Amino acid sequence: MNKEFALGKAYKLCSIKRIDRLFAEGQRLKAYPLTLMYQETHDEMEHTFQVLFSVPKKRMKHAHDRNYVKRCLREILRLNKAPLEKHLTDCHKKINFALIYQFNERMSYAELEQKLIKALDKLIIELTHEE
């Protein structure tokens, strides 16, 4: 398996303290139907970012729909993380971010891919402006 396309456990934001800090102090970026909460971190991490995927039950009642959206988002990020990682490496930054799905219906993979890539581009631009 090609390592550059892997999105293993080290990329997963699991720490309750980091998650709480992200939602309390992080910055919000809207790229409908996704909301990105992100925060620069100085914690010791294996990779340049850690991510959390969230599809609220309030928006989607059926678990199979929520799981489908999260699975799609993970796969899209796995395949399109290279520009974000390159930017973060060049800037010597590490971030934690959450991808929150804000739409009431299930989207197709192609639509989700288009929206997530747009959201990642917005995030890169936002991180560039912070320098």
Q: pLDDT 10s digit of each residue in the chain, 131 long? A: 566 778 888 899 999 999 999 999 999 999 999 999 999 998 888 899 999 999 999 989 999 999 999 999 999 999 999 999 999 999 999 999 999 999 999 999 999 999 999 999 999 999 988 76
Contact 62, 104 (CB under 8 A): no
Structurally, the chain folds into a number of domains equal to 1
Contact 47, 4 (CB under 8 A): no
Looking at residue 12, the DSSP 8-state letter turns out to be B
CATH of the domain at 109: 3.30.230.10
Taking each helix axis from N to C end, the angle separating 63-80 and 109-130, rounded to the nearest 10 degrees, works out to 60
State the residue range of the domain holding 115: 3-130
